Amino acid sequence: MPYIPSPTSGALVRDYNIIKQLSKKGIKSHLICNICSNKYMNDINLLEDQLNIKIHPLKTPYFSALYKMKIVIFDRMYPEVHRFNTIDNRNFISSLLSNNDFNIIHAQHSVEAEPTIQAALNSNFNGCKILTLHNVDHLNFIRQTDHQKNPLMKMARKRVSLRFKEHELDMIQKFDHLFVVSDIDKSVFMANGIPEDKIDIIPNGVDCSSFNISKFHGEDKLIHPNILFMGKLSYQPNIIGIKNYLKYIHPLIKNKISNIKLYIIGKECPDWLIKYSRTDDSVEVIGFVEDVKPYIFGSDVCIAPLTSGSGTRLKILEYMAMSKPVVSTTIGAEGLEVENNKNILIADIWNEFADRIIEVLNDKELATTIGNNSRKLVEDKYDWNKIAEKQANIYRKLINKY
C-alpha cells in the first residue's frame, strides 16, 4: 500500500482496522508500505504490535512539479502511477514472494497495481492476486476536472483522465479478483467490462465500540449551535466542498441563526482557509486532532457538502456511529446504504442544503431520530469486525480456487 496504515484518517483508517481484525481471525500477513517520507518510521514497531503483522517500509522517490508535468504532457498518465512503480518496489515484492509461502498478494489502490503484478510475474507467484480500489479513480479524475478553475490543472486532468481510465481497467483485468467499497463502484466497473463474479464489495466501516456516544465521557468544549466538517484539507473534493459551503451555504445559515458556529477539522489546512476564518468569527479551523470523537460528541449537525470524489466517506460513518444527524449531498453519501429523511438528510441544491441544516438545528426531535437511526445502520452494516469477517471468508474461497 502507498502509506503506513493508521487509526487517524481516511484510507489509512480503513486498512488499519481491516488488518487488525483479519489478524484477530488468524490471518497472518506481511505489509509492504511505500512511503514518501520517514515521518512515521518511529511508529513501525508499535504498529506491528497493534496489528500483529510484519511491516516492510520502502521509500518512494520524490517527483518535482516539473517532472510531474512532463509525465502528464508526454505520457498522459497520473504521475503517482510512475512514482510507485519503481525497480526497488518490484524487486522487494518479488523477493518477499520468492522467500515465503504466501497464498495471496493483495494490492491497495491503483498506484500499487502495476508493481504488484510485475513482481508476481517475476517471482512466478501462483497464488491469488487481489486488488482493492477505494475509489473509481478515473471517475474521481473526471469529476475533479469539472470543478478545476486553474486552466493548466484543468488541461492536465483532461489529458490524464482517458489514459488513466485505460490503465485502471487494464490493471484490474490482470488481477484475479477486485474489492470495491460500494455497489455504485461495482456497477461502474461492470459497465466497463469487468465480470460481476470477479468483484466483491468490502465497504468502508467504523469501530462501533469506540465511536459510541453512550460510552463517551469527555467534556463538550464546543460552542452551540454548531456545524462540524471533517476531512483531509489537501484532498481536492474536500477543498471544493468547503469552498462551496462557505460561499453558498454558510451565509444563508448565518442569516437565520446569527450565533451559528462552523468547526473545521482536518490536516494540511490551506492558507486561504485559515485567512478566511480570521475574517469570519463564525468559522473556526481546528486543524488536525489526534482524536475526533470529542468534537463529534460536541457537534449538533455534521456535514458532507461534496460534489466530487468517489468511494464512500469514512467520516460520515464516524458521525453516524456517534448518533449525529448528517446533512450530505448525494455524492457525499454515495455508496452508503442510507435513506433520506430516515438516517440522513440529503440535498444537492445549496439553498436546500442550508434549509436541511437549519431544520435539524431547530428540531431536536428530528436530530435525535436521524441520529439514532444512523447509529443502528452502522451497527448493522458497517462495523469493522463484520466487514473483516466478510473479507476473510472471501480470502478462504479464493485460496481454494487458485
Burial annotation 314-324 (CB, 10 A radius, 16+ → b, else e): bbbbbbbbbbb
Same-fold call for 10-205+384-401 versus 213-381: yes
What the block records as the C-alpha cell of 229 is 466538517
Reference 85, options 41, 37, 109, 118; nearest CA is 118
Supply the pLDDT for residue 72.
Answer: 84
Q: Determine the CATH number of domain 10-205+384-401.
A: 3.40.50.2000
- Contact predicate 325/360, CB 8 Å: yes
- Grid coordinates given for 224: 452551540
Predicted pLDDT at 309 = 63
CA distance between the termini of the chain:
23
Instruction: Map out the domains of the chain as residue ranges.
Output: 10-205+384-401, 213-381
- Alpha-carbon distance 324 to 370, whole Å? 7
d(CA 3, CA 226): 34
65-71 contact pairs (CB < 8 A, 24+): 69/156
Given a cut of 70, the residues of the chain with pLDDT beneath it are: 9-10, 37-42, 144-148, 309-312
What element of type H or E holds 157?
A: helix 151-174
CATH no. of 213-381: 3.40.50.2000
Give the pLDDT confidence score for residue 40 in this predicted structure.
62
Nine cell digits for residue 19: 488488518
- Write down the pLDDT at residue 334: 86
